[in-house]
Amino acid sequence: MTAATTHARFLIVGPQGSGKGTQGVVVASAFGIPQVATGDIFRANVAGGTELGKRVQAIIEAGDLVPDELTSELVRDRLSQPDAASGFLLDGYPRNRGQVADLDAFLGSRGEQLDAVIELAVPRAESIARLRQRAIEQGRTDDTEEVISNRLAIYERETAPILDDYRARDLVVRIDGVGSLDEVTARIFEALAVRGFAAAHPGTPATA
């Protein structure tokens, strides 16, 4: 089984600072599927002036969080586009069990389901250290350890539990997220290959 002969529908999950955004780009490129990240979807719809984008913009400008229902609607719209017909890698969605149910319903209506959930496991202290370093490098003085710890607490409370649901379906591929970019990427490809998903271009650089 290879990416060329089967669809690959993946989800990558990990706490802030786990490197999932970077790894998501690499994995999606290697499998020839789009990386579907909620932040990108929000920005694209707002920039494009779509009806969904106008609703998102109004919510964000009011200082509110985009509700699950609208987030799911935006993701469904993105996954319905032609480039996602042969697979995708979700990043940042689903974030909670309500969104898992929405995704299940959408994929089920198309006779589809996720093939694997890539969990990047990184100790809390490591995540905090990475995020603090990133904040220093980017001059983000508002990213204090307290703020970072709060973000991680939200992940642990709302997002981490979805992994239990996916483990019950035997979908979770747990990856040690500590190490160099290339080391972690190699672990992901090896674990997916064991499940029958071989990347068409595993040597794709992170800058692709």
- C-alpha atoms less than 13 angstroms from C-alpha of 83 in its C-beta half-sphere: 10
User: Is the pLDDT score of 120 beyond 80?
Assistant: yes
Give me the pLDDT at residue 7, please. 81
CATH for 142? 3.40.50.300
Annotated binding site: 17-22, 38, 43, 64-66, 92-95, 99, 134, 140, 151, 179
**Domain housing 159:** 8-37+84-194
Mean pLDDT across 145-150: 89
> Is residue 148 situated within a structural domain?
yes
User: Is the pLDDT score of 207 beyond 60?
Assistant: no
Annotated binding site for ATP: 17-22, 134, 179
Residue type, 179: G
> Is residue 14 situated within a structural domain?
yes
Q: Give Cβ neighbours of residue 68 (< 8 Å, ≥ 6 apart).
A: 96, 98, 99, 102
Annotated binding site for AMP: 38, 43, 64-66, 92-95, 99, 140, 151
User: Is the pLDDT score of 4 beyond 50?
Assistant: no
Q: What is the pLDDT of residues 10-64, one digit of tens each?
A: 999 999 999 999 999 999 999 999 999 998 999 999 999 999 999 999 998 888 8
Q: What is the pLDDT of residues 76-95, one digit of tens each?
A: 999 999 999 989 999 999 99
Nearest CA to 173 out of 27, 17, 25 is that of 27
121 exposed, middle or buried (CB, 10 Å; 0-12, 13-18, 19+)? Answer: middle
Residues 134 and 140: their CA atoms lie apart, in Å, by 8
Q: How many domains does the chain have?
A: 1
